[in-house]
Amino acid sequence: MTTVERALRLAGENPGGPVPCPVCAAGVKGANLERHLAKVHGGTAGADESRWGGPERIGSRWLLGLALVVAAAAAGFTVSSGKQDDRVVLGAIGVLAVAMIVWAAVAWGVPLFPGRLRVDGRGAVLRHSLGLGRRRLRPVDRVVLGSAWEGRPSAVSGHDASYESVDVRVGTYLQLCAGRRRITVHCRNAGVVRTTWAGWEQGRKRKRLDITLDAAEFVALQLALWELGVLAARAAGGGDGDRP
């Protein structure tokens, strides 16, 4: 079943409630979705129903961890051999510096590592770290919803050159959970998640995000979770706004 077919089925079951448009992510009254798709989007073929791609943030954490291991090994070599080889020391410092720059850039939302997320009846799989790593949940047993944040460097204050960071709201996250394992999926402009769905838990604000999807893919993920029974359609009129 394609994402558009899923959305139309949800609209049929919930004609008075808000249904997220699978193309533009706007909240559309269920009864009007088919017309909205035809009129606004000129009718659309279904996208891939269970695989989505977007920048992930796990690869940069692995890279930083690896660089710390290299630096520790270089320090250990220098101490145990008793001779200071500048190439080893400078090399380790260079590796660590590059890893920290990459990690910080990714934490501020620079899309350096492409990730792939798949959600179907077998569970969820996030492929990360340039395809070398994968995190698997099977099956997804609950969903947590909350606000996503990024720490950004603020202007250097005064002449003491202190470096402060301010937290900036960057949209919404849906966290897929299976026991203690979790995949945190982020979207910058998520639209009507809270008013569309029931069955999720409210989560705290989070800065540790695993993958970012665009609005249409984020809707497709929600519809896939609905089909799996992890999310339920919220009855019409039961909305409490889209603010946390």
Q: How far apart are CA 31 and CA 34, in angstroms?
A: 7
Q: Which is nearer to Zn ion, 23 or 174 (CB)?
A: 23
Q: Which is nearer to Zn ion, 23 or 224 (CB)?
A: 23
Q: How far apart are CA 167 and CA 107, in angstroms?
A: 12
Query: Helices 3-13 and 215-227 meet at what angle, rounded to 10?
Result: 60
Q: Which is nearer to Zn ion, 4 or 102 (CB)?
A: 4
Q: How far apart are CA 63 and CA 72, in angstroms?
A: 14
Distance in Å, CB of 219 to Zn ion, minimum: 9
Asked if omega into 20 is within 30° of 0 (cis), the reply is no
Distance in Å, CB of 200 to Zn ion, minimum: 23
Q: Which is nearer to Zn ion, 5 or 150 (CB)?
A: 5
Q: Which is nearer to Zn ion, 30 or 203 (CB)?
A: 30
Return the sign of the alpha-carbon dihedral for residues 105, 108, 114, 118: positive
- Rg of the chain over Cα atoms, rounded to whole angstroms, equals 22
Distance in Å, CB of 50 to Zn ion, minimum: 21
User: What is the β-pairing status of strands 142-153 and 165-178?
Assistant: antiparallel
Distance in Å, CB of 199 to Zn ion, minimum: 24
Residue 168: enclosing H or E segment and its boundaries? strand 165-178
- Number of Cβ atoms within 10 Å of the Cβ of 235: 11
Distance in Å, CB of 109 to Zn ion, minimum: 25
Question: Applying CB under 5 A, which residues contact Zn ion?
Answer: 21, 23-24
